[in-house]
Structure 1
Amino acid sequence: MGVIGVGGMARYHIEQLNKVNGVSITALCDVNTTALNEVGGQLNVPESKRYQSIHNLIEDSEVDGILSVTPNDSHATIIKACIVAQKPLFAEKPMTRTLAEAAEVLELYKQQPIPFLINFSYRNGPAFQYARALVNEGKIGRINHLFVQYLQDWGATIKNTPLLWRFDEPITGTGTLGDLGSHMFDLAEYITGTQITDISAMLQTIVPERTDLLTGELMPVRVDDFACMNVKFNDGKVGVFQTSRNALGSQNQHELSLYGETGTLHISTLNDRELVWIYPNEDGNGTVTEKLDVPMEQGLNPWQEFADRIRGEKKPNSQFATLADGYRNQQLLEAVVQSHNRRAMISVDEI
C-alpha cells in the first residue's frame, strides 16, 4: 500500500491498515517533509519511497493500492490520477470540494472504473450498523420522522482556534457542512434505506474572523461553522439536521433519533456500545425504555475490505460507500448551499 497524507487522521488509518493480514505500507507521500520522514522512519519506508509528489506515488509500479487522507482541495486530483493509472483507491470524504469536481470524477470513473472505497466512517460503527439492522427488521415500524445532529466544540470562540484549513474556503469548499454534514446525510440515507428528495437549509458563520497561522493577522472566515437543514424523504418521512463547531461540551457528538410508528431508536457516538429502544407497553398505557447492547460483530472493517478488493478474491461488500454514493452526497451538499443562497426549498433532483 501507498499512503498519501500522513497527518493525524492518516495515522489512525495507518494503524488499522497495519492490522490487515498480508498488507504492508511501502510508500508515503506528504508535502510536510518533517512528518513524512517521521512516519517513514516509524514504518521503515525507504527514503526513495517517501514522495512529495502524489503523481510519483500513484505511478509507482510497486504500489498495489492507495489510501488517501488529505485536505479537500486535493481529493479530485488524487481520484482522477488513480483512475487514469488504474490504481485502487481508499479515499476520505467528502469526495470533492464541489459538485462540478464530483461530476468530472464520476464521468472519468464510468469510463475506467477502479476498486474504490470512500470512507463514510460512521457506516462502519457497530452501533450504527446494528441500528440499520433493527430498522430493516421493522423494530420501530415505518419511520415518520428523524433527528440527526453532529456537534463539536473545537471551533468555538472561547477556544481561539486559528484559521486551520477546515476554515479556509479555497481548501475546504464548505465548512462544517462538507466535513460533518456529509456524514449526517450519508448515515441518514444508509440506515433508513431511503433518499432525501427536498432540502431547506441555513448556513451560518458564528465566528467571522480567525487568526492566520503565518501572519498572525485576523482573516475573514468564508465558510460555515453551523448548518441546519429540514428535509423530506422519498417515502414521505421528514427530518431535522444540525451540525456545529461551536457546541461547547461536545467533543464528537454524532447521533440519530428515529421515530417510528411502533417505537423509537436513539443512537449516539457518546455511547456506541448500546442503543436506546422505546416502545409501547402491552396494555398501550405508557412506554418502555430498553437499552440494547450492540453486538461487536456488527462493525465493518473497511481496511480489510479494501485489501480484499485489490486481491479480487471476494465479492465486494455492498455496505461500503461507492464512488456513486460520494457523488450522491455531493449533490445533497450542493442542494444545501443552493437552498441557503436562494432562501428556498430545493429539489435534489434538480441539482
Structure 2
Amino acid sequence: MGREVSIGIIGLGGMSRFHIQKLGEVPGARIVALCDVSPQALEEVGAQLEVSEEKRYSSIESLINDPAVEGIVSVTPNDSHAAVLLACMEAGKPLFAEKPLTRTLEEAAEVLAFYRTHPIPLMINFSYRNGPAFQFARQFVADGKLGRINHLFVQYMQDWGSTVKKTPFLWRFDEAITGTGVLGDLGSHMIDISEYLTGSRMSELQAMLRTIVPERAHPQTGEPIPVKVDDFACFNVRFEDGAVGVFQTSRNALGCGNQHEVTLYGEAGTLHVSTLNDRQAVWTYPKEDGSGTITETIEVAEEKGINPWREFVGLLRGEQVATPQIAVLEDGYRNQLLLEAVVQAHHKGAVISVKDLQA
C-alpha cells in the first residue's frame, strides 16, 4: 500500500454515496473534508465518516482551498460543474469529476481555455468505459477481430421517469440546472462509449428530442411544473470511418432499470455488450463452411475492468496512471460539443456537420 492520501468530496447526494463507498475500498484513501448545501447531509455523512465539523463546508471554494485536501471528487448537479473545474484549476488541485463536463458548450469552452493555461491532473467519470465487458469490446475492436465496422446500435434505457412511476420534479428535469434532460445525462454516455469502442469519431448527425411527460408534480406542494427538457432522445450518426450509428435513450422505458448496451456489426461478425451483465460479451460469427453462424458468450474477468477510484488515488500519489483509458478534459469537451450537435440537429431538423460546429 502506498502513502495515505487526503480527499475532499463535493456533493453528498445519492451518487456521491456510491463514490464514498468505492473510495473506502481503496487502501490509503482517506476522506478528510466534505461540502454540500445541505446541513443535514453534511451532518449525516460527516458523522458516518468521522469528518470533523470544521472540515464540513458549505462553500465549494473553501473545501478546494483547504491545504489539507490533496484531491477533489466532485459529484454535483450540472450547473456547478464549470465552477468546480475552474476553482480546482485556480487552486492547482487534482479533480475526479462527474460527466457531463459542464451544463453548456459555452461553459465547456471557457473551462477548456482556462485548462490550457492552468492544467491539473483531471479525470472525467465516463463510468461505462470501466466495465470489464466494455474494456473487452474495445480491445476486440482494436485487435481487428470485427473487421470493418459497418454499423452500430447504442441504447441507454431507464424507466424511473415513466408516467406510472409518478416521479416528481427533480433537478434533472430543471433546464436551468441540467441544461438538457436525458440527452446530457444518459446520452453523454452513449456518445462517449461509441467513439471509445470504435476508435472513430462522429462526423455528422441528425436527431430528434421529445418530452414524453410534459409536467411533473412539485415534490413538496404537488403543484404541476412544466418540464422543458427531453426525456427521450434519438439520433443517427455517420462516423469518419464510414460506419453509421443508431442511438436511443429514454427515462420512460418500462422494465429497464439501467440498460446501457452497444451492438457492433462488423464484416467478421457481431459483438454485443451490456450493463445487464458487464462481465459477458456475446460474439456472433460465421461458420467456416458458410452454412450459418455461431453465437458464443464470452466470460470476461472482473479484473479486466478499470477501477477509477484506485486510478485517482494513484494519481494523487504521483504514480503514473495505470491506463490511458480514463477520460480527460479534452474528452469531456468533445462530448459537450457532440451533445450540442444533437441539440442543434433537432432544432434545425437537419443534418449537422461536427466540423462546422467546431468552426
1:136-158, Cα deviation, whole Å (9 max, x unpaired): 11222111000000000000011
Q: How does 1:121-200 map to 2 (within 5 A)?
A: 121-200=127-206
SS in 1 for 2:177: helix
Match of 1:16 among 8, 22, 38: 22
SS in 2 for 1:83: helix
- 1:265 maps to 2:271: yes
Q: How does 1:26-65 map to 2 (within 5 A)?
A: 26-65=32-71
The one-letter amino acid paired with 1:277 is W
Q: Contact 1:169/1:223 (CA < 8 Å) preserved in 2? A: yes
Which whole-Å CA distance do the structure 2 matches of 1:218 and 1:338 have between them? 29
SS in 1 for 2:145: coil
The one-letter amino acid paired with 2:53 is E
Match of 1:283 among 289, 298, 322: 289
Which whole-Å CA distance do the structure 1 matches of 2:311 and 2:177 have between them? 29
Q: CA RMSD in A?
A: 0.9
Structure 2 residue runs of 5 or longer lacking an equivalent are: 1-6
SS in 2 for 1:24: strand
The one-letter amino acid paired with 1:119 is N
Structure 1 residue runs of 5 or longer lacking an equivalent are: none
1:229-268, Cα deviation, whole Å (9 max, x unpaired): 0000000000000000000000000000000001000111
CA 88–48 in structure 1, closer or farther in 2 if over 3 Å, else same: same
TM-score by structure 2 length?
0.96
Q: State the number of aligned residues.
A: 351
Q: After TM superposition, give the deviation of residue 298 of structure 1 in Å.
A: 1.0
SS in 2 for 1:278: strand
> What is the aligned partner in structure 2 of residue 293 from structure 1?
299
Name segments (4+ residues, structure 1) moved above 3 Å: none
Q: After TM superposition, give the deviation of residue 99 of structure 1 in Å.
A: 0.2
Q: Contact 1:146/1:239 (CA < 8 Å) preserved in 2? A: yes
The one-letter amino acid paired with 2:127 is S
Q: Contact 1:309/1:316 (CA < 8 Å) preserved in 2? A: no
> What is the aligned partner in structure 1 of residue 84 from structure 2?
78
Q: Contact 2:95/2:121 (CA < 8 Å) preserved in 1? A: yes
1:266-303, Cα deviation, whole Å (9 max, x unpaired): 11111222111000011011100110001222100111
Q: Contact 2:237/2:245 (CA < 8 Å) preserved in 1? A: yes
Which whole-Å CA distance do the structure 1 matches of 2:319 and 2:264 have between them? 37
Which whole-Å CA distance do the structure 2 matches of 1:273 and 1:129 have between them? 10
Q: After TM superposition, give the deviation of residue 118 of structure 1 in Å.
A: 0.4
SS in 2 for 1:191: helix
